[in-house]
Structure 1
Amino acid sequence: MTTQSRSLRLADTLSRAPFAWPSGYPLHAITSDGACLCRHCCASERLCIATTTGSDGWNVIALAVNWEDPELFCDHCSDRIESAYAEA
């Protein structure tokens, strides 16, 4: 699987299903440079993610749950990424 197809598959998964199954915890994307992306940016920046070079900041490598960080924000749009347990 190429970097582009894996990255796009993860971003599309987050766009379609923004919550972990079966727990229902909110998910966000993590890029290869350590940035966090919200589900809305994964959908709106689909072309950048699909054509990533792997070192341009758009390479989505994982989906993760924000367990307790009330100060986690999307590195692209600056929206707060919902946490599973922390109060906002």
Structure 2
Amino acid sequence: MTDNILYLDEQGYPCDDYRDIHEAIEETTKMLLSMTKAERIEWFRKSRYPYPINFDMEIGGTVYSVSSHFNRTANESLQEKAQRIIMNKL
């Protein structure tokens, strides 16, 4: 299913310029696989972003304001939601 993922640049144009990100994800995955469950939980506790993810971004003369709120009882992950939204827009 990862073949259906579409990456967009800051202007919303498709791009495949994320080699460094993919390498970092692979390295992190290998590191996490080598840990026990308790070590992984502790690593996630220490490395999670402690503040809300909010920002403003101007694209094509329009300012978009993003505020994030997470529902702890949601039935899909952030990744699944983002994929669903992107795939519905294609």
Which TM-score band applies after superposition, normalised by the shorter structure? under 0.3
Q: Could you state the TM-score of these two structures normalised by the residue count of structure 1? A: 0.23
Structure 1 or 2, whichever has the larger Rg, is: 2
Which structure has more helix as a fraction of its residues?
A: 2
Question: Taking CA–CA contacts closer than 8 Å with sequence separation of 6 or more, which of the two structures ends up with the larger relative contact order?
Answer: 1
